[in-house]
Amino acid sequence: MTPTDSEIAYAKINLALHVRAREPGGYHRIETLFAFAEDGDVLTAEPAEGLTLAVEGSFGAGLADQQDNLVMRAALALREAFGVPRGAAMRLDKRLPIASGIGGGSADAAAALRLLARLWALPEDDNRIAEIAQALGADVPACLLSRSVRGEGRGDMLSRIDDGALAGMPLLLVNPGVPVPTGSVFAAWDGVDRGRLEDGDPLAVARASRNDLEGPALGIVPEIGAVLTLLDQAEGVVLARMSGSGATCFALFETLAARDAADETIARTRPGWWWLKTGLRRQGLVS
C-alpha cells in the first residue's frame, strides 16, 4: 500500500493587529501577535510521478483553479528549489472559510511546505523553505511555524514569544458566512497610526491592544458587529476580537465549560453561521 502522510493547516489568529503605515508598492506596515488554533484544513499527500491536487470539504468548491491555488504554488516552488524529480498526489480537505481572516490559503501553503519536505526527505530547517514561504505571502512565514510569534513589517518579520497563559486556552472561532477581501479592508483603513504594539506577556498585551482593521471591515460587512456582540456577552470570555481582516472573530475563554456554553448558544441562535470549537496550540515543534 502506498504510504500517505497528512498535515494540519492550523487556523491563524491575530490576537492584536496594529496598522502603522502605508508602504510604497501597496503594502502596509503592521505589528501583530500571531497565535494558532489546534485545528484547521487537512492536507494529505502520497508519492506520485506527477504533482496533483484534489480539493474537497465544506469550502472546497469556493477555491479557484488548482494551478492558481497557493498549495500548488508552494509545491511547485519547493520541487524546483530542491530539484526534486518526484511528484505527489495531494488532497486538501478545506474546512476553514475562504477570505475569512484566519489564514486559510496561507496556512494551506505552509502545510504543503511542511508535508512535502517530509515526503521528499528534504531538510526541514533549510533556509530555502522559509524563503519560499515569504515569497508566497505575508502570512505564510508565520503559518509555516504555526506557533505564537510577533510579526512586524508586512507581518513576515517574526520573533518568537512565550505563550504564557495562552497555551491550550479554550478558543471559539465564529464567522457570519460572508467573505471579506483583504485588499478592500486595507484600502478602507483611514491611515491613522494609533500607536505601537507593546512588548510583554502576549495575553496582557493582546487585551490592551486592538485590531485596526476591525472598523474598516465592519464598514464592509456589518454582520461582524453581531458576531462580536454575541462573543463579548458570553460568560467567561477573556478576549473577543476580529482576526486579521475578518470576517472571522475569535473568543478566548477561561474554561472549557464557558467555551462550550457559548458554542451551544451560537448553534441554537445562529445556525447559519460557521463556527469552530477548538483551543490554542501549545509551543513546540509543528507535528
The catalytic residue positions are 12, 139
Grid cell listed for 108: 494551506
Angle at which helices 223-233 and 256-269 pack, to 10 degrees?
Answer: 140
CA 98 – CA 63 distance, rounded (Å): 8
Identify which of 96, 84, 102 has the alpha carbon closest to the alpha carbon of residue 245.
102
- Cβ neighbours of residue 236 closer than 8 Å, sequence gap 6 or more: 253, 254, 255, 257, 258, 259, 261, 262
State the amino acid at position 126 in one-letter form.
D
Cα pseudo-dihedral 115, 96, 180, 245, rounded to 10? -60
Q: Element (H or E) spanning 87, and its range?
A: strand 87-93
